[in-house]
Amino acid sequence: MTLAIPILIPLVFMIFMILRLPERVTRTAGISGSTLMLAAAVFILIKVKTEGIQTLYLGAWEAPYGITFVADPFSALMLVVSSVIMMAISLYAIHFLSSEYRSGKFYIFFFTLAVGLNGAFLTGDVFNLYVWIEVMLLSSFVLMTMGKTQDKLRGGIKYLALNLIGSLFFLAGIGLLYGKTGTLNMAHLAQIVQSSEQTQWLNTPAMLIFLAFGIKSAVFPLFFWLPASYHRPNITVSSMFAGLLTKVGVYALIRFFTLFFVQDPSFWHNLILIIAGFTMVVGGMAASTQYDTRRILSYHIISQIGYMVMGLGIFTPLAIAGAVYFMIHNMIAKTNTFLVAGMIQKVKGSFDPKNIGGLFTESPFLAVLFIIPAFALAGIPPLSGFFGKFILIKAGIESGQYLITAVAVLTGLLTLYSMIKIWNEAFLKKGEADSETKKLTFSEALPSVILGLISVLMGIFAAPVFDFASEAAEVLMENTKYIESVLK
């Protein structure tokens, strides 16, 4: 029952939002809905921590016949982090949604997205995962094109078309898996793969599904849709997407490639590492050629995805733990940089750092808010990103993957370069004396303060977070635990 709550809460709030209620009501409901969701996620995390893997057989149809919901440490962690981001976004939306978005309409799709997201993290069924990802895709498309300007539609269509192609690959892969094994339950699939001698056929569905999640998580060379679309919608929507959407792809990649796509490890891990390396470098380089803050940050999302995928490619318990830690850090910090970009725009009226200047003297508070996620992303100690990168690099050296480790270190410099570019232009450079600066109220900055605080705390208290990440990695690597708790 517990596992159904993260789906039910946003569903109920989504229905509530369809009624055309006044702005004040929808805003309050939006915030309370996402707070409830966070509470439910934390409850599940605690339950997983104390009692082990949780399962729910929908309609009491035992696995592998019905749809099973499974919460292992990894999915519980993702659930909590995504709920934190959703909560921050619901606070941010109050001030930063422009008039073209009626807040009730925004929240309908905000909660639909939450339904899809929570479902994707919780489900233990391959086809069910497809459905949740579709729910997410469609609601994000509506959010992206809301406002109906030509510009937004152009980005939205690219986003939808490329992601639908991804879904098609995913569906084809599922079809092959089902045709060959007769099951869709992830744990059952893993069991069948473990006990069968011939596993060569798995490479075909694995490649199809790798392509699908490659598109969804925007890895090299499948990332085109992301920089084409992420900077176009309202900044509230952009920041929500930045933290959440691509990470579902990475989540599914890690889940699938630790649980049942375990054949031919040498081929797959090398492929994943090569792609991770290119993703990091290309994303980082593309970011350094951009000028619009949102575009710099969009390319950055790609570069950072490379690190997570690299953890999967190295495939040692430490590396997976690093990938999990890095994902948590990245979701929080990435969303936060977008939130700050929105605040800079509100204060100075532009997303282009060249047109801005002197923010450091005019608004030191905003400077601090920017520097926390920016330096966290660049990996400066003692912020969260430093430990994420440190663990991944340590895992890389320990397993003898020197090349990818070197690439990861160098990409860190690229990240630092583009963050410093924004910093120098927007904050340090002398501003024009007659430029108008709006004051920022505390409630506008609150979501960024919360996320910034999490980044700092994740750096200071890295050990407990890392312990939990390695617990999650252990469950992922030793998939017998997962299989046993699903197929009792």
Partner 1 sequence: MNSGILQIAEKYLRWLFLVFAIFALFRGHNLPGGGFIGGLMAAMAFVFRGFAYSADEVYQSMKIKPETYLVIGFTAVILSFVPGMIAGKTFFEGVWLSADLGQLGLLKLGTPLLFDIGIFLVVIGVTVLFLFSLKRSD
**Which uninterrupted H or E stretch holds 295?**
helix 293-314
Which CB sits closer to partner 1, 64 or 173? 64
CB of 262 to partner 1, least distance (A): 31
Cβ closest to partner 1, residue 5 vs residue 271: 5
Torsion from C-alpha of 121, 204, 127, 186, nearest 10 degrees: -60
CB of 7 vs partner 1, minimal distance in Å: 9
Judged by CB, which is closer to partner 1: 172, or 487? 487
Residues near partner 1, by CB under 8 A: 1, 3-4, 8, 11-12, 14-15, 18-20, 56-60
Cβ distance to partner 1 smaller for residue 130 or 299: 130
Measured from the CB of residue 8, what is the shortest distance to partner 1 in angstroms?
A: 7
- Helix, strand, coil fractions of the chain, as percent rounded to 5: 80, 0, 20
The nearer residue to partner 1, 137 or 356, going by C-beta atoms, is 137
Q: How far is the CB of 226 from partner 1 (least distance, A)?
A: 27
Closer residue to partner 1, CB minimum distance, 14 or 327: 14
- Cα gap 293→352, rounded to integer Å: 6
DSSP collapsed to 3 states, the chain: CHHHHHHHHHHHHHHHHHCCCCHHHHHHHHHHHHHHHHHHHHHHHHHHHHHCCEEEEHHHCCCCCCCEEEECHHHHHHHHHHHHHHHHHHHHHHHHCCCCCCHHHHHHHHHHHHHHHHHHHHECEHHHHHHHHHHHHHHHHHHHHCCCCHHHHHHHHHHHHHHHHHHHHHHHHHHHHHHHHCCCEHHHHHHHHHHCCCCHHHHHHHHHHHHHHHHHHCCCCCCCHHHHHCCCCCHHHHHHHHHHHHHHHHHHHHHHHHHCCCCCHHHHHHHHHHHHHHHHHHHHHHHHHCCCHHHHHHHHHHHHHHHHHHHHHHCCHHHHHHHHHHHHHHHHHHHHHHHHHHHHHHHHCCCCHHHCCCHHHHCHHHHHHHHHHHHHHHCCCCCHHHHHHHHHHHHHHHCCCHHHHHHHHHHHHHHHHHHHHHHHHHHHCCCCCCCCCCCCCHHHHHHHHHHHHHHHHHHHCHHHHHHHHHHHHHHHHCCHHHHHHHCC
Closest CA relative to residue 248, chosen from 124, 132, 127: 132
Residue 277 in tokens: 């390396």
Nearer to partner 1, 9 or 242 (CB): 9
What the block records as the tokens of 487 is 């197929």
For residue 131, the minimal CB distance to partner 1 (Å) is 13
At closest approach, how far in Å is the CB of 110 from partner 1?
16
Q: How far is the CB of 3 from partner 1 (least distance, A)?
A: 8
Distance, CA of 396 to CA of 159 (rounded, Å): 33
CB of 60 to partner 1, least distance (A): 4
- Closest separation in Å from C-beta 108 to partner 1: 10
Residue closer to partner 1, measured from CB, 104 or 396: 104
- Taking the complex as a whole, the smallest distance from the CB of residue 18 to partner 1 amounts, in Å, to 5
d(CA 185, CA 448) in angstroms, rounded, equals: 39
Instruction: Select 6 or 311, whichever has its Cβ closest to partner 1.
Output: 6
For partner 1, the closer of residues 58 and 406 by Cβ is 58
The minimum distance between CB 142 and partner 1, in angstroms, equals 12
Q: How far is the CB of 61 from partner 1 (least distance, A)?
A: 9
Would you give the DSSP letter of residue 264?
S
Give the nearer residue to partner 1 in terms of CB position, either 18 or 457.
Answer: 18
Pairwise CA distance, residues 296 & 273, whole Å: 24
CB of 86 to partner 1, least distance (A): 20
Which of 416/486 has CB closer to partner 1? 486
Name the residue nearer to partner 1 (CB basis): 5 or 207. 5
Question: Which tokens hold the place of 245?
Answer: 């959407």
